[in-house]
Amino acid sequence: MVFPIIFAFVAPSRLQQQSHANPKPPTAIIVEDSVRRLPCSALSTSSEPSDSSSSRFGRQDYWDSFYQEEDGAAFSWYTGWADLEPFLMELLNPDDTILLPGVGSDTMLLDMYESGYRHLTAFDYAAQGIARCREMMGSERSNAIHLFVGDARDLPQLEDASFDVVLEKGTLDAIVQSGEGGTLKEKKALGLENMEKAIAELCRVIKPGGTFISISAICTEELENSPEWQRTTTGDDDAVWAMIRDGSLYFTESGYASNNFDGTLLAWRKKKRSQEEE
């Protein structure tokens, strides 16, 4: 059973209901330990004026202003580490090198670090996002990981096949809405082009045998249909990627259900090509 993406906008509380083992009152934005959860609708452009010449989500100045207005407040897009951990622990381990795009002041980076994941690299499109991230992490933790300002469509700072895992949460949702200028159709086409560039670049840095993980609510269909997942190597008809989480209802071995959090979990694994890569 696959949950339609419209649930993210019409009834996000249903996606945030907790399992019977850990009940919580359903709500669109949950306030817990002073950490705000921003729901899927926070990235919706439905409130944008129809004659807008560009999407705010494609502008660095918008994101710099966003983090300044948050005034250092910690938050999580869609859902937090506590809800995702039972699912992600089946896809990664603390020894993995992990890249988190669009991290900003999302508390997931801090929570992962405190849970024993220490080989972390994270970046954000906005300098203010990284500044807020450093404040949240503190100097000792910030110095222990790699933080930088970067554009997911072009990451010259990162070498090919240098990470075991890329874990994105809402970043591609923002990028797909980043089309600028022209008609609405032209903006959508440019946003999709930007998303494809970001997917290809993020996949470039994943090692053979590594994993691409996405928590998406807006571009789920576009992400699933990306040409990247059909890519083959030269002289080989086999796809480079194998889908290992398809967004359908999923239960962990410990009994957690994937409808416990806001958003859709998708994941692909990059196939190994030779014995040298084993």
Considering only CA atoms, which of 108, 67, 89 is closest in space to residue 252? 89
Query: How many independent structural domains does the chain possess?
Result: 1
**Which segments of the chain does DSSP mark as H helices, in order?**
7-10, 12-15, 60-70, 81-88, 108-114, 127-144, 171-175, 184-204, 220-224
Alpha-carbon span 149 to 135, nearest angstrom: 15
Domain of 55, CATH number, reads 3.40.50.150
Host domain of residue 23 = 7-277
Q: For 23-34, write each residue's pLDDT tens digit.
A: 332 222 222 333
Determine, yes or no, domain membership for 121: yes
Determine, yes or no, domain membership for 1: no
- Give the pLDDT band of residue 236 (cuts 50, 70, 90): low
Alpha-carbon span 20 to 195, nearest angstrom: 37
Question: What DSSP letter does each residue of 159-188 carry, written as one string?
Answer: -TT-EEEEEEESHHHHHTT--BSS-HHHHH
Q: For 127-164, write each residue's pLDDT tens digit.
A: 989 998 999 999 999 999 999 999 999 999 999 999 99
Determine, yes or no, domain membership for 11: yes
Determine, yes or no, domain membership for 2: no
Number of other residues whose CB lies within 10 A of the CB of residue 20: 8
Determine, yes or no, domain membership for 260: yes
